[in-house]
Structure 1
């Protein structure tokens, strides 16, 4: 039987090529022949040679009927045969595209693998834990999920007091002892020296329970900060084997001890050694760049000259009524303040001509102390904050501080002369050094970037702004080039000067012997924008990053995320050869954190990467663990803290519950009170004398000094005890993270009082914030003040007291966490106004 192939619409058959065509009726004769045949037929009929009717009858029944029958029979037979043959037709359709084939791209950071955990191994490990750890330390079901996660990436949402540290220690024990992973294939990352020290101690204790040898040196090698892990990578590059971090200059540290490189990533304070390098670079740049010198001159004038105030401002209107009285006492006030400056060794200042001249303020004469010829400006000495606020002139009704404040306000509103108001001794000494041409002196004045709470020495302000930009993963010069400021805005010249200075500083530091580099520069060298540098690293340096466990991941910065992603991608690129002959194979990442405790956005950190973990670290398989049990605080403390952050963007499904011994604690509401230092101290002493641990948290360093006057007795008693027996701590809200006390006393509200134009710009450049939000950084900070209050409250085990000042007129409409307190809730007791 014939077979037919239909290929892309073309029919191909193996039938004989000369098969007969279908039969058709005979064609009709031409009309001349038909006429001749008819005449001949009639003649034959007359001769009786034929019978006409018989011929027509035969023609009809023979030819026509036979033809029709033949067609019908042939059709039926052909249809049946064709149907049978059609069943054997094979249809091939080519659906391939005509364009060139391109394979897809695997953007995953990990191989598709699983931790080899068998049911028997899990059972044995659980049995060992039950035998060696006390009952109260046994993991919960959620904690076992963390310990036994077998996917390449794991995100652990761990609220306050969730027992995450013990779980991570057991995870390390599982990998090392039960699965045979080498210690040099793992790194546990903590953010601060304190948390690192505590984790190492726990690790050593647990390994000892299993009678496993783990030396303190091995513990310090395993548990690291990000900074101590990046330094060996840089030192492996040609010419940088002795490079030092700028942040560690001036700190006593054994040479070559990378593990000791634990500078606090959130500490921006500069020491004298660091500042000397800044000043040397500044001096050289002034000589090399006229443009830089011009910019600094403009910034100096902007910074030193007293800022005007609207005469209609309420403070001005209140003080203008005593203008004449203030003028009458002004000479005596100048004498008193000059005496204080003389005693402090801050006056006279070389470069400023001392002269007791006068200026007119609304028809009254006030005095100035000097004149700065370079700016053609008068100089007035202020009242240094270190002096006692209660200091008074003999016979005066007001304190010197109050008299000085009146004079300053009047000068700001009504003085039409260029005026430099020196607020403190330190700023005057810096100015004196700069005017004297000291080669290692900086610019000698402070500058306040818009959005910052206070002015800072110019070079310190440069470091702060550059660090923020780099923490966001941006290059300083590129970021500055993308900024824009309104005409006349002094931040424009500031950032132009910053770009010039930062480039010069990096070159200056590298020219030192040994060379110096900032940590941000180190991370950038091995970030996603420089993958070729990672290829230069030998396997032993990358291997510790293969299996990462990172705590406090909500505080990670875009800069660190870029480095982590690049490192994991390079480890995967190298493939199995990197792990040949070893127990630890492939790579993995476990991140532990709590987006409600993200409080370092002012330094460039963001909870975005924790909240969008699977997007930031794509993986073939992923595990999420929710640790909702709180083993620290009684339920009212938990509920009050969560109430304050419920309006912030957060990971869904979070609701903590008091568990273990904490669930048995008596319920006590968080008490919110009017600010009262005496009452705070009295209640704090009561808790301390009951044998409880006590923590006082403050927002400003001046509050700490103020409270120490009321707590001298406790400070004396507690400091005399051995460190392990001390029960009183004073900390900032930020530095209290990870700690706890039976009773916590919070002094001060959590407020966002400013707006930062430059941070809003670079925040958007870094892809942070919601699309279309022009004030993305400000928005993030308004949410962060709520999270900071959450952190402070959740330090409490049983009792929490919050003493809040009333907002002033300028801050009343600014976001503040205490405004979210709801006294109708059982977990709050709002005593304000009572």
Structure 2
């Protein structure tokens, strides 16, 4: 390769350029001669210039070569650094993520040695049938901050939960005041307390009744002390616990908050608030008017109703005798001093009913409604008009049925002298005793006193975690729908009622209001609580979690979040550190949606209770029933949404399988079969859907009732309960009376369900859909109460209703676990 000779640098002085361009030989001679002159200390200008030029050239050449090499290396390195920096940097701005976990990232300090020791103790101290299964040990030894336990019917969860408490307190040294076990009812709380004391005693540990009652609580008994810790609320009472005893200063600390019946002490507060609001608020008075008319108005009857079809045939005959019937009925009211009524004009008017003429007794101008007097039930039912074949009562019944089916004018039918007094009080604006009329919200099965309807609707809305006035403000109804006036009146009444309760001495508050005070919407209030009040929620264990409501979930999350935010300072000097949540439930046994509960919080446990790590346990062994009972119940419920992977298997002592018998309703045959099981010494549950069904069967099982009720309570073998009340119970033989069916559609509940974010996105009737699933779960609960025998008596159905399915529609013929003995329906 030819050597590269660099060009002369452009910055060479002009006077050196000619010399620099001299031939090489002359330049060498000049340099030599110049060197001699230097030694003589003489200076030859041309030689000096030649040397300077030569130095420039050689120096430039070396400099260029050196600079090229060094510059190239430095440039490459610098380029490499720039490239690396550009690769590692992000142009996107991202703030730090938020840690929304309810718990620290920690684990229960369980060693192999500790587990081995506890297993040995359990093997030694508990009987063989009570030894935990592998899945139950997984629940007991769960070491993650959160644990969800799917425990099917008969899974033996109570003993497992007791052993979990034993692990925390005895083997790990956690203080009992750092734990709470939550049960939903007084009965389940009492049973669990007894079992806890019994198991602790086997370990030689003394657990007093007071200690056990402090540990095992209902949600309501935990929230009450929180509110009472606030200034001015030290003696606060719960509205749900109000009774004549509490008004006298004796509190029922363990009353049942799910008893929806209004007692006298509660009604006294409701009536007092109503009277004041009716007196002072003009808009409230205006709203009561259409409600009273709707409440008092005669309820319609479908024209294809059997009673209507039967009585239509005598319409013309009834019309001819109607004026005389009016006179006779009116005479009875006169004699009773119940007619005329102030505010009702005693003017008769004729009505066209199915082509015939009938009469009313009066008119109410303030309600624009007509009045018909009825036959008071206290009168002699045999009394007749002269020469009449039917009694007055029978003639009146025909007229009432025809009016219900064919009268479309606003009409108030006064059934009794007592009802007339209530109407009189309403018309006179006397609100001292409350509204004085019943009302039926669309979607409810029956009418009830107006204030009872207010309490029920407000309770449902608040259980969903919503504020009543805010929720009402987001509802919509048709212009002529009386529910539009009902909910506006509810909004006014409920705010006034809560203020009225707080004005009492001592103050009163509903449980829902208490939970709302410490929910995620007002979590700052939790900072007012002492460590001692919050500490029992540190290690929270909840049974029947599938029945929890959105309101309770919000309170639990807010409490756990506050406990975590307080950090280690809350646990200084204590064995129990940090916090945990263990929930036991069965989404197939969620049957309280009608009061605002939802299984979705259990089904979506990981999302609803965010945790660094969660343990899921499936308790699939059923120690109660044989496999046919299990398979039949699961076949019914499997059409409802459920946690994936559930399939129970019969465990424990083998039992002879008997199919679930499905029979057409026959009360006499049912009574005979029940008596036979009683004679065989079996325990029996008779479950009914309606109280009227219970009354109908009474005469057929009276001999059994007489014998059983004469025994001590513990020795009794017959229990009669509703399907809902039977949860947690079992019997050798179970008799189910009546089908499970969602009979109505609830416009207002569908609206508030959507507001609460429940149901599927875009679903127009989420509450109704949830209830159609719930009827399947209710049948599952009923069937799984049985240990050996189950009989299900259902009313015949002419044709399946597309929009109102029945649980018995899921009964499958040809399956060994069902014996469907109903006659097959003929087609065509």
**TM-score, with length taken from structure 1:** 0.85
Q: Name the SS of the counterpart of 1:520 in structure 2.
A: helix
Aligned match of 2:728? 738
Q: Does 1:640 align with 2:632?
A: yes
Contact persistence 2:663–2:821 (CA under 8 A): yes
Q: Compared with structure 1, are the counterparts of its residues 818 and 349 closer, same or farther at alpha carbon in structure 2 (3 Å cutoff)?
A: farther
Q: Does 1:520 align with 2:512?
A: yes
Greater displacement, 488-497 / 529-538: 488-497
Contact persistence 1:346–1:428 (CA under 8 A): no
Aligned match of 1:192? 185
Q: Compared with structure 1, are the counterparts of its residues 334 and 742 closer, same or farther at alpha carbon in structure 2 (3 Å cutoff)?
A: farther
Q: Name the SS of the counterpart of 1:379 in structure 2.
A: strand
Aligned match of 1:723? 713
Aligned match of 1:173? 166
Aligned match of 2:667? 677
Could you tell me which of 467, 486, 490 is aligned with 1:494?
Answer: 486
Give the deviation of 1:485 after TM superposition: 1.2
Could you tell me which of 199, 204, 213 is aligned with 2:197?
Answer: 204
Give the deviation of 1:437 after TM superposition: 5.6
Give the deviation of 1:408 after TM superposition: 2.2
Q: Compared with structure 1, are the counterparts of its residues 357 and 350 closer, same or farther at alpha carbon in structure 2 (3 Å cutoff)?
A: closer
Greater displacement, 580-589 / 305-314: 305-314
Contact persistence 1:228–1:259 (CA under 8 A): no
Aligned match of 1:325? 317
Contact persistence 1:355–1:368 (CA under 8 A): no
Could you tell me which of 768, 771, 776 is aligned with 1:786?
Answer: 776
> Cα deviations across residues 714-758 of structure 1 (Å, max 9, x unaligned)?
111111111110000000000100000100001111001111111
Q: Does 1:470 align with 2:462?
A: yes
**TM-score, with length taken from structure 2:** 0.85
Contact persistence 1:286–1:293 (CA under 8 A): yes
Give the deviation of 1:542 after TM superposition: 0.3
**Matches of 1:518 and 1:100, distance apart in 2:** 48
Contact persistence 2:244–2:264 (CA under 8 A): no
Could you tell me which of 521, 534, 543 is aligned with 1:542?
Answer: 534
Q: Does 1:143 align with 2:133?
A: no
Aligned match of 2:287? 295
Give the deviation of 1:489 after TM superposition: 1.5
**Matches of 1:386 and 1:580, distance apart in 2:** 72
Q: Name the SS of the counterpart of 1:800 in structure 2.
A: strand
Could you tell me which of 739, 746, 768 is aligned with 1:756?
Answer: 746
Give the deviation of 1:608 after TM superposition: 0.5
Aligned pairs for 1:299-448 within 5 A: 299-307=291-299, 316=308, 319-327=311-319, 351=342, 359-362=350-353, 364=356, 366=358, 368=360, 372=364, 374-375=366-367, 377-381=369-373, 405-415=397-407, 418-423=410-415, 430-431=422-423, 433-435=425-427, 440-448=432-440
> Cα deviations across residues 580-605 of structure 1 (Å, max 9, x unaligned)?
00111101000000000001111110
**Matches of 1:818 and 1:812, distance apart in 2:** 14
Aligned match of 1:43? none
> Cα deviations across residues 77-135 of structure 1 (Å, max 9, x unaligned)?
97799679968997264444578774321100001111111111111111111111110
Q: Does 1:247 align with 2:240?
A: yes
Aligned match of 1:801? 791
Q: Compared with structure 1, are the counterparts of its residues 120 and 405 closer, same or farther at alpha carbon in structure 2 (3 Å cutoff)?
A: farther
Q: Compared with structure 1, are the counterparts of its residues 324 and 560 closer, same or farther at alpha carbon in structure 2 (3 Å cutoff)?
A: same
Could you tell me which of 95, 115, 124 is aligned with 2:117?
Answer: 124
Q: Compared with structure 1, are the counterparts of its residues 285 and 336 closer, same or farther at alpha carbon in structure 2 (3 Å cutoff)?
A: same
Query: What are the ranges of 5 or more consecutive residues in structure 2 without an aligned counterpart?
Result: 11-56
Give the deviation of 1:291 after TM superposition: 0.6
**Matches of 2:188 and 2:561, distance apart in 1:** 28
Aligned match of 2:703? 713
> Cα deviations across residues 330-358 of structure 1 (Å, max 9, x unaligned)?
68977998999999x99669647697957
Q: Compared with structure 1, are the counterparts of its residues 134 and 817 closer, same or farther at alpha carbon in structure 2 (3 Å cutoff)?
A: same
Could you tell me which of 481, 487, 492 is aligned with 2:473?
Answer: 481
Q: Does 1:699 align with 2:689?
A: yes
Give the deviation of 1:305 after TM superposition: 2.1
Q: Name the SS of the counterpart of 1:514 in structure 2.
A: coil
Contact persistence 2:323–2:359 (CA under 8 A): yes
Q: Does 1:822 align with 2:812?
A: yes
Q: Name the SS of the counterpart of 1:735 in structure 2.
A: helix
Q: Name the SS of the counterpart of 1:157 in structure 2.
A: strand
Aligned match of 2:102? 109
Give the deviation of 1:325 after TM superposition: 3.1
Could you tell me which of 547, 553, 558 is aligned with 1:561?
Answer: 553
> Cα deviations across residues 648-706 of structure 1 (Å, max 9, x unaligned)?
11000100001002xx1111111111111111111111101100000100001111112
Q: Compared with structure 1, are the counterparts of its residues 263 and 310 closer, same or farther at alpha carbon in structure 2 (3 Å cutoff)?
A: closer
Q: Name the SS of the counterpart of 1:671 in structure 2.
A: strand
Aligned match of 1:15? none
Q: Compared with structure 1, are the counterparts of its residues 623 and 321 closer, same or farther at alpha carbon in structure 2 (3 Å cutoff)?
A: same
**Matches of 2:786 and 2:795, distance apart in 1:** 21
Contact persistence 1:229–1:259 (CA under 8 A): no
Q: Compared with structure 1, are the counterparts of its residues 135 and 290 closer, same or farther at alpha carbon in structure 2 (3 Å cutoff)?
A: same
User: Paired residues, what number?
Assistant: 768
Aligned match of 1:42? none
When the two chains are superposed, the root-mean-square deviation of aligned CA atoms in Å is: 3.6
Q: Does 1:627 align with 2:654?
A: no
Contact persistence 1:305–1:420 (CA under 8 A): yes
Q: Name the SS of the counterpart of 1:590 in structure 2.
A: strand
Greater displacement, 607-616 / 415-424: 415-424
Q: Compared with structure 1, are the counterparts of its residues 792 and 142 closer, same or farther at alpha carbon in structure 2 (3 Å cutoff)?
A: same
Q: Does 1:503 align with 2:482?
A: no
Contact persistence 1:598–1:606 (CA under 8 A): yes
Aligned match of 1:616? 608
**Matches of 1:282 and 1:131, distance apart in 2:** 63
> Cα deviations across residues 288-336 of structure 1 (Å, max 9, x unaligned)?
1111100111111122222556768886555322112334666897799
**Matches of 1:354 and 1:487, distance apart in 2:** 29
**Matches of 1:154 and 1:358, distance apart in 2:** 70
Contact persistence 2:292–2:437 (CA under 8 A): yes
> Cα deviations across residues 359-398 of structure 1 (Å, max 9, x unaligned)?
444565546566656435443355789999x999799998
Could you tell me which of 223, 243, 252 is aligned with 2:216?
Answer: 223
Aligned match of 1:651? 643
Give the deviation of 1:447 after TM superposition: 1.2
Q: Does 1:552 align with 2:544?
A: yes
**Matches of 2:673 and 2:379, distance apart in 1:** 29
Q: Compared with structure 1, are the counterparts of its residues 91 and 258 closer, same or farther at alpha carbon in structure 2 (3 Å cutoff)?
A: farther
Query: What are the ranges of 5 or more consecutive residues in structure 1 without an aligned counterpart?
Result: 1-21, 29-66
**Matches of 1:691 and 1:741, distance apart in 2:** 11
**Matches of 2:544 and 2:329, distance apart in 1:** 49
Q: Compared with structure 1, are the counterparts of its residues 79 and 783 closer, same or farther at alpha carbon in structure 2 (3 Å cutoff)?
A: same
**Matches of 2:744 and 2:482, distance apart in 1:** 17
Contact persistence 2:361–2:373 (CA under 8 A): yes
